[in-house]
């Protein structure tokens, strides 16, 4: 785009500056405010965290513990994702079989389902009689929340939830990457005498590495920031994002913000180098070391042997993972809502039934209606505002020399743990900062804009690249269209698919977001936050109903995405 | 215009001076990376030159946006808008320029009729064959009322057979409409067949401008001779110049006569002889250079027979003889005499770098 014929209109410059300004205020500032806050209020933090007059540096010790636990959980979840996600992604990318697109949808489901609903499903599946325990004829759940996986020292149910929620990132990113790699490389390798495993290790894996890494980064960031489901299944253990939510609600703002910025900075230290590596085009892994020949030959022989034995295993095991982590919980929750409809099926108490809890004295139905209204308004308004910012921003990224920089910065809100983000927004706009907005629906909207903009921008860019848009626009220009004409008649229609996908993704994300919302919502409770409240109030049946409601809602949205993306 | 365009350190066009007459069909011919597309984009206004000026119809158009230049750029991939039907694509220019409804209707249907696509007016581009898409793109350009058509490898995306059929149609259409055309291609046959004038571009510089006949019969450089038509290239030294021509001594002491007298005695030169100017026989021919050699290979290509003959000095000479003019055929290993007249020898000074580089740049 070197010295491209410039747009003669001043309007385009105004749009660029307005967009960049809005981007700065509504996206960048909230993202980075938390860190600057730590420096601005260092004295306060020091007193509260390190030299507390009553408990000494007890807060600091807690922070360290929580951080260690969080990273252990996230890293092990991502490792598990990779182990089973790679074969699944390969199968999805290379094979065609009946039900493939259904399987893709099921894998994607946890991205769309609001996480607190999903967390609740997993909870009752594993720890109550209504779940697997009941199926096996036990009087209690199969396991408890405190059951810990040996070696990893991570609670089992929590681990399952994090795997389910992060699995789609690894699988879908890698699947797209595999599809973009020409199948003839593999065929060539096979005809040259390599077994399928050797081919995979020496050809496909190095080429797909950037995809694997970016998938793993997204999964890792998601796991670190996950709040909604974690709040429900964490039991006694505390992850970093939960700690931030708790401390923020206890008004230990200094500790919370210190913890939040530590989390953000450590996450960046891990993620940014990987992002930079992946961001360069045409990268692949070139292993710098050489195995000793004897070992290498042994490896190849082993791979030849294993190729045959493993081919079935590779197909089946990932499916079992999906079954356990995604399908069963959803079925269980749908089933339970029926069982619990009028009364608790085990004790027979009417008070345990869905109907009583919804319409009885606590009147959760009313709260649910209000929460639905809040959620939908938030999702619509924040998505709309984000669209207004994201569409010009996507063009700026593609057309201006500084576009790459903006795109890199935009990665940050995507990988920042949402509870840290919520805290940052609270501190920035709320009474401690500019004091412009109080907790409530407007602050939720401000928060959601921060992570919606990057989501929409990314999907527009995905549609932009490879569409040959520049050529179509140039063509329109020489046919007599002004830049504005060309934009209206050619570019926007061509990007329609990407814009719509971005809209839906942002909408569902906003609908399901819990971590940040919990911190900034004040009295305007959204649906996912309501589920958490219900579980904490032990209104299990009401939570069941609300979770089902959320799941059905998101299934409908997923169906819409399908329709929109398939038409092209 | 006199134009320079740089991309970073690379100079894509180096002081290109070119003027094109109204209604002329000009082919810009050159190998990949010669700067052909850059030149075209500068005329269209999609790129701005770093130096120099572009005039269209006598008006300086530097800084004038593409939509005001009335010069349609046609991409090799046609860039038919995928979300619009054939009709919408073709009427795009008229609609965007806010012509009256009736006029839009009339112009669009006339042009669709002309390119024989009226029946497919409601089809989408991806439903059409490559040839049809090409016609739609052309129709779209013409319908926009442009007087200048800039074609970037317009036939490149078509298969070989279709390409030959369409290129004459393309020229006839442009001539009927009185359009000025700049047609970029790397196919010398295409350029020679349809252009009024050919511009040979190489590494951002113009090597030669002329009618197809001039380019073919009076190549001004080794590059042009080799790129257009192809030729045998023989190294030698000028040993004698007289009023009828010069004598060139080849390797191994062989001597040939050439009509050219522009080089000095002692100068190192390259003699180019077109394959079709070389005959192969058993007898020496009067008034020609006659060199004896051995047939190395015989190739039958359609209407021609091609001989590769190894001369006494181990150099190879190729000859292309029209099948209808073949009186006698020779086998590999047979002793023959190759003949070519002095007036068919082009003489060039020996290139500064190497002969191979000049020829291989193709």
CA distance A421 to A35: 11
Give the CATH number of the domain where residue A136 resides.
Answer: 1.10.3720.10
Q: Beta strands B197-202 and B205-210: pairing type?
A: antiparallel
Contacts of A2 in chain B (CB under 8 A): 7-8
**C-alpha distances in Å from residue B247, one per residue of A339, B35, B221, B240:** 108, 38, 20, 5
Question: What is the least distance, in Å, from the CA of A4 to any CA of chain B?
Answer: 6
**Looking up tokens 């399987």, which residue turns up?**
A103
Question: CB-based contacts of B101: which residues, under 8 Å, 6+ apart?
Answer: none
CA distance A273 to A275: 5
Helix (H) or strand (E) holding A370: helix A364-399
CA distance B91 to A479: 10
Return the minimum-mean-pLDDT range out of A354-363, A388-397, A483-492. A354-363
pLDDT at residue A153 is higher than 90: no
- DSSP label of A297: H
Instruction: Using a CB–CB cutoff of 8 Å, tell me whether A471 touches chain B.
Output: yes
Question: What is the least distance, in Å, from the CA of A478 to any CA of chain B?
Answer: 5
Class of domain B226-360: mainly beta
Name the range with the highest mean pLDDT among A128-132, A191-195, A420-424.
A420-424
**Which B-chain residues 244-263 have CB contacts (< 8 A) with chain A?**
none
- DSSP label of A360: S
Work out the burial of residue A366: count CB atoms within 10 Å of its CB; fewer than 13 is exposed, 13-18 middle, 19 or more buried: exposed
In this complex, which of A2, A5, A493 lies closest to B45 when CB atoms are compared? Answer: A5
Question: A502 falls in which pLDDT band (50, 70, 90)?
Answer: confident
Question: CB-based contacts of A535: which residues, under 8 Å, 6+ apart?
Answer: A120, A123, A232, A543
- DSSP label of A6: P
Mean of all residue pLDDT scores within chain B: 86
Question: What is the least distance, in Å, from the CA of A494 to any CA of chain B?
Answer: 7
- DSSP label of A113: S
Both tokens assigned to A224? 């670190």
CA distance A433 to A424: 10
Question: A379 falls in which pLDDT band (50, 70, 90)?
Answer: very high
pLDDT at residue A133 is higher than 80: no
Which CATH superfamily includes the segment(s) B2-225?
A: P-loop containing nucleotide triphosphate hydrolases (3.40.50.300)
CA distance B152 to B141: 13
Residue B10 confidence (pLDDT): 54
Return the minimum-mean-pLDDT range out of A153-157, A347-351, B264-268. A347-351
Percent of chain A with pLDDT over 70: 92
User: With helix as H, strand as E and coil as C, how does chain B read?
Assistant: CEEEEEECCEEEEEEEECCCCCCCEEEEECCCCCCHHHHHHHHHCCECCCEEECEECCEECCCCCHHHCCEEEECCCCCCCCCCCHHHHHCHHHHHCCCCHHHHHHHHHHHHHHCCCHHHCCCCHHHCCHHHHHHHHHHHHHHCCCCEEEEECCCCCCCHHHHHHHHHHHHHHHHHHCCEEEEEECCHHHHHHHCCEEEEEECCEEEEEECHHHHHHCCCCHHHHHHCCCCEEEEEEEEEECCCCEEEEEHHHCEEEECCCCCCCCCEEEEEECHHHCEEECCCCCCCEEEEEEEEEEEEECCEEEEEEEECCCCEEEEEEEHHHCCCCCCCCCEEEEEECHHHEEEEECCCCCHHHHHHCC
- Longest CA–CA separation in chain A, Å: 77
Residue A7 in domain: no
CA distance A337 to A353: 9
The residue in chain B having the minimum alpha-carbon distance to the alpha carbon of residue A9 is B65
Instruction: Using a CB–CB cutoff of 8 Å, tell me whether A490 touches chain B.
Output: yes
In this complex, which of A5, A472, A493 lies closest to B46 when CB atoms are compared? Answer: A5
Using the beta-carbon criterion (under 8 Å), do A475 and B145 form an inter-chain contact? Answer: no
Q: Beta strands B246-250 and B232-241: pairing type?
A: antiparallel
Residue A246 in domain: yes
Q: Is A361 helix (H, G, I), strand (E, B) or coil?
A: coil
Contacts of A6 in chain B (CB under 8 A): 48
Question: What is the least distance, in Å, from the CA of A245 to any CA of chain B?
Answer: 48
What is the residue range of A27's domain?
Answer: 19-566
Contacts of A399 in chain B (CB under 8 A): none
Instruction: Using a CB–CB cutoff of 8 Å, tell me whether B47 touches chain A.
Output: yes
**Looking up tokens 């942002």, which residue turns up?**
A506
pLDDT at residue A565 is higher than 70: no
Q: Is A458 helix (H, G, I), strand (E, B) or coil?
A: helix
Mean pLDDT value of segment B145-162: 85
Instruction: Using a CB–CB cutoff of 8 Å, tell me whether A475 touches chain B.
Output: yes
In this complex, which of A8, A478, A485 lies closest to B72 when CB atoms are compared? Answer: A478
Mean pLDDT value of segment A355-373: 84
Return the minimum-mean-pLDDT range out of A16-30, A332-346, A376-390, A520-534. A332-346
CA distance A116 to A113: 8
Contacts of A5 in chain B (CB under 8 A): 45-48, 65-66
Question: A13 falls in which pLDDT band (50, 70, 90)?
Answer: confident
Question: What is the least distance, in Å, from the CA of A23 to any CA of chain B?
Answer: 30
pLDDT at residue A1 is higher than 50: no
Both tokens assigned to A262? 């530590």
Using the beta-carbon criterion (under 8 Å), do A477 and B81 form an inter-chain contact? Answer: no
The total of other beta-carbon atoms located within 10 Å of residue A529's CB is 25
Instruction: Using a CB–CB cutoff of 8 Å, tell me whether B42 touches chain A.
Output: no
Question: CB-based contacts of A95: which residues, under 8 Å, 6+ apart?
Answer: none
- Would you list the DSSP string of A140-208? S-SS-TT-EETTTTEEHHHHHHHHHHHHHHHHHHHHHHHHHS-HHHHHHHHHTT--HHHHIIIIIHHHH
Question: CB-based contacts of B228: which residues, under 8 Å, 6+ apart?
Answer: B29, B188, B191, B192, B198, B200, B215, B216, B219
Instruction: Using a CB–CB cutoff of 8 Å, tell me whether B82 touches chain A.
Output: yes
In this complex, which of B47, B82, B96 lies closest to A479 when CB atoms are compared? Answer: B96
Question: What is the least distance, in Å, from the CA of A369 to any CA of chain B?
Answer: 41
CB pairs under 8 A between A and B: 85
Residue A157 in domain: yes
Question: B208 falls in which pLDDT band (50, 70, 90)?
Answer: very high
- pLDDT digits over A504-519, tens only? 888 888 988 888 888 8
Q: Is the pTM of this model over 0.90?
A: no
pLDDT at residue A155 is higher than 90: no
Instruction: Using a CB–CB cutoff of 8 Å, tell me whether A512 touches chain B.
Output: no
Instruction: Using a CB–CB cutoff of 8 Å, tell me whether A1 touches chain B.
Output: no
CA distance B154 to B139: 13
Of B265, B292, B285, the closest CA to residue B341 belongs to B285
**CA neighbours within 13 Å on the CB side: how many for A357?**
24
CA distance B22 to A367: 77
Annotated domain spans of chain B: 2-225, 226-360
Residue A517 in domain: yes
**C-alpha distances in Å from residue A325, one per residue of A130, A261, B119:** 16, 31, 56
CA distance A306 to A293: 20
CA distance B71 to B180: 9
Instruction: Specify whether the CB–CB gap between B6 and B16 falls below 8 A.
Output: no
Of A532, A516, A242, the closest CA to residue A371 belongs to A532
Percent of chain B with pLDDT over 70: 96
Instruction: Using a CB–CB cutoff of 8 Å, tell me whether A473 touches chain B.
Output: no
Question: What is the least distance, in Å, from the CA of A399 to any CA of chain B?
Answer: 14
Contacts of A3 in chain B (CB under 8 A): 47-48, 50
**Looking up tokens 């290790």, which residue turns up?**
A201
Residue A289 confidence (pLDDT): 61
CA distance A338 to A459: 38
Mean pLDDT value of segment A197-221: 85
pLDDT at residue B196 is higher than 70: yes
Residue A316 in domain: yes
Please give the residue that has the higher pLDDT: either A8 or B17.
Answer: B17
- pLDDT digits over A54-96, tens only? 777 778 888 888 888 998 999 999 999 999 899 899 888 888 8
Residue B88 confidence (pLDDT): 92
| Phi/psi of residue A198, nearest 5 degrees | -60, -45
Instruction: Using a CB–CB cutoff of 8 Å, tell me whether B124 touches chain A.
Output: no
Residue A7 confidence (pLDDT): 46
Question: What is the least distance, in Å, from the CA of A16 to any CA of chain B?
Answer: 20
pLDDT at residue A419 is higher than 90: no
In this complex, which of A2, A479, A490 lies closest to B72 when CB atoms are compared? Answer: A479
pLDDT at residue A206 is higher than 70: yes
CA distance B120 to A500: 30
**Looking up tokens 């501190």, which residue turns up?**
A427
Helix, strand, coil tally for chain A in percent (to 5): 75, 0, 20
Q: Is A384 helix (H, G, I), strand (E, B) or coil?
A: helix
Contacts of B75 in chain A (CB under 8 A): 471, 474-475
Instruction: Using a CB–CB cutoff of 8 Å, tell me whether A5 touches chain B.
Output: yes
- Interface probe, candidates A478, A492, A498, chain B, greatest B C-beta count within 10 A: A478
Mean of all residue pLDDT scores within chain A: 82
Question: CB-based contacts of B234: which residues, under 8 Å, 6+ apart?
Answer: B250, B270, B271, B272, B273, B315, B317
End-to-end CA distance of chain B: 26
Using the beta-carbon criterion (under 8 Å), do A477 and B65 form an inter-chain contact? Answer: yes
Question: A8 falls in which pLDDT band (50, 70, 90)?
Answer: very low
The residue in chain B having the minimum alpha-carbon distance to the alpha carbon of residue A468 is B79
Question: What is the least distance, in Å, from the CA of B79 to any CA of chain A?
Answer: 5
The sign one gets for the Cα dihedral A19, A25, A28, A30 is: negative
With vertex at residue B209, the alpha carbon angle to CA B207 and CA B214, rounded to the nearest 5 degrees, is 110
**Is the ipTM above a cut-off of 0.85?**
no
CA distance A420 to A417: 5
Helix (H) or strand (E) holding A331: helix A328-339
């Amino acid at each position: 785009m070197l010295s491209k014929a410039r747009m003669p209109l001043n309007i385009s410059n105004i749009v660029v500056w307005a967009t960049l300004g809005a981007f700065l205020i509504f996206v960048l500032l909230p993202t980075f405010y938390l860190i600057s806050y730590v420096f601005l209020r260092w004295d306060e933090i020091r007193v509260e965290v390190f030299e507390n007059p009553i408990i000494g540096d007890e807060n600091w010790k807690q922070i360290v513990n929580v951080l260690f636990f969080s990273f252990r959980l996230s890293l092990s979840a991502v490792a598990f994702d990779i182990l089973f996600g790679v074969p699944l992604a390969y199968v999805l990318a290379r094979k065609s079989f009946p039900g493939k697109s259904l399987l893709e949808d099921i894998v994607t489901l946890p991205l769309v389902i609001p996480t607190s609903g999903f967390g609740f499903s997993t909870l009752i599946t594993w720890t109550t009689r209504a779940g697997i325990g009941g199926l096996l004829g036990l009087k209690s759940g199969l396991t408890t929340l405190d059951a810990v996986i040996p070696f990893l020292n991570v609670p089992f149910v929590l681990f399952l939830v994090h795997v389910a929620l992060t699995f789609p990132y690894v699988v879908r990113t890698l699947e797209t990457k595999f599809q973009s790699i020409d199948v003839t490389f593999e065929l060539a390798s096979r005809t040259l005498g390599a077994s399928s495993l050797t081919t995979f290790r020496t050809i496909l894996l190095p080429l797909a590495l950037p995809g694997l890494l970016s998938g793993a980064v997204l999964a890792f960031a998601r796991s670190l920031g996950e709040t909604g489901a974690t709040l429900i299944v964490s039991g006694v253990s505390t992850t970093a994002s939960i700690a931030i939510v708790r401390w923020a609600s206890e008004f230990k703002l200094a500790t919370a913000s210190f913890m939040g910025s530590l989390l953000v900075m450590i996450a960046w230290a891990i993620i940014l180098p990987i992002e930079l590596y992946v961001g360069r085009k045409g990268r692949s892994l070139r292993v710098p070391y050489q195995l000793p020949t004897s070992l290498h030959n042994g490896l190849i022989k082993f791979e030849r042997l294993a190729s045959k034995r493993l081919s079935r295993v590779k197909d089946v095991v990932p499916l079992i993972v999906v079954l356990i982590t995604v399908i069963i919980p959803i079925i269980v929750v749908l089933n339970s809502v029926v069982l619990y409809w009028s009364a608790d099926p085990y004790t027979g108490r009417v008070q345990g039934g869905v109907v009583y809890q919804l319409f009885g004295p606590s009147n959760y139905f009313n709260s649910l209606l209000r929460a639905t209204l809040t959620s939908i308004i938030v999702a619509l308004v924040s998505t709309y505002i984000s669209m207004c910012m994201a569409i010009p921003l996507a063009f700026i990224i593609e057309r201006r020399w500084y576009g790459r920089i903006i795109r890199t910065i935009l990665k940050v809100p995507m990988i920042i743990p949402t509870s840290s983000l919520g805290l940052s927004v609270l501190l920035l706009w709320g009474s401690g900062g500019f004091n412009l907005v109080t907790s409530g629906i407007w602050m939720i909207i401000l928060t959601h804009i921060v992570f919606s903009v990057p989501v929409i921008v990314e999907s527009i860019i995905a549609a932009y690249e490879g569409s040959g848009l520049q050529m179509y626009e140039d063509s329109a220009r020489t046919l007599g269209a002004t830049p504005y004409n060309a934009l209206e008649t050619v570019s926007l229609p061509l990007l329609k698919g990407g814009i719509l996908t971005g809209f839906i993704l942002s909408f569902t994300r906003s609908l399901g977001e819990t971590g940040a919302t919990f911190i900034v919502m004040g009295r305007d409770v959204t649906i996912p936050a309501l589920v958490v409240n219900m579980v904490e109030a032990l209104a299990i049946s009401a939570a069941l109903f609300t979770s089902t409601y959320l799941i059905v809602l998101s299934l409908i949205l997923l169906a819409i995405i399908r329709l929109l993306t398939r038409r092209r | 215009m006199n134009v320079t365009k740089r991309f970073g350190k690379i100079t894509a066009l180096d002081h290109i001076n070119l003027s094109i007459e109204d209604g002329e069909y000009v082919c810009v011919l050159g190998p990949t990376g010669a700067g052909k597309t850059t030149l075209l984009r500068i005329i269209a206004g999609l790129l701005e030159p770093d130096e120099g000026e572009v005039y269209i119809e006598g008006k300086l158009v530097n800084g004038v946006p593409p939509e005001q230049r009335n010069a349609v750029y046609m991409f090799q991939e046609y860039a038919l808008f995928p979300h619009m039907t054939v009709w919408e694509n073709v009427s795009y220019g008229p609609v965007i320029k806010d012509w009256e409804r009736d006029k839009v209707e009339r112009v669009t249907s006339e042009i669709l009729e002309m390119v024989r696509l009226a029946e497919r007016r409601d089809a989408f581009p991806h439903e059409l064959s490559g040839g049809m898409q090409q016609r739609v793109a052309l129709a779209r350009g013409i319908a926009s009322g442009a007087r200048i058509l800039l074609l970037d490898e317009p036939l490149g995306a078509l298969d070989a057979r279709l390409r030959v059929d369409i290129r004459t149609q393309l020229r006839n259409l442009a001539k009927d409409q009185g359009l000025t055309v700049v047609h970029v291609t790397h196919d010398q046959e295409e350029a020679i067949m349809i252009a009024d004038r050919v511009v040979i571009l190489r590494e951002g510089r113009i090597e030669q401008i002329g009618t197809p006949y001039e380019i073919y019969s009076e190549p001004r450089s080794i590059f042009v001779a080799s790129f257009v038509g192809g030729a045998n290239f023989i190294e030698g030294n000028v040993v004698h110049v007289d009023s009828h021509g010069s004598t060139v001594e080849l390797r191994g002491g062989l001597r040939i006569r050439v009509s050219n007298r522009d080089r000095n005695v002692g100068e190192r030169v390259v003699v180019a002889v077109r394959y079709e100017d070389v005959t192969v026989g058993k007898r020496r021919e009067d008034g020609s250079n006659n060199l004896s050699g051995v047939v190395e290979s015989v190739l039958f290509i359609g209407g021609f027979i091609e001989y590769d003959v190894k001369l006494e000095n181990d150099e190879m000479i190729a000859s292309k003889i029209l099948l209808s003019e073949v009186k006698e055929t020779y086998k590999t290993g047979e002793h023959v005499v190759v003949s070519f007249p002095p007036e068919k020898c082009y003489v060039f000074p020996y290139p500064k770098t190497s002969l191979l580089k000049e020829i291989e740049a193709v």
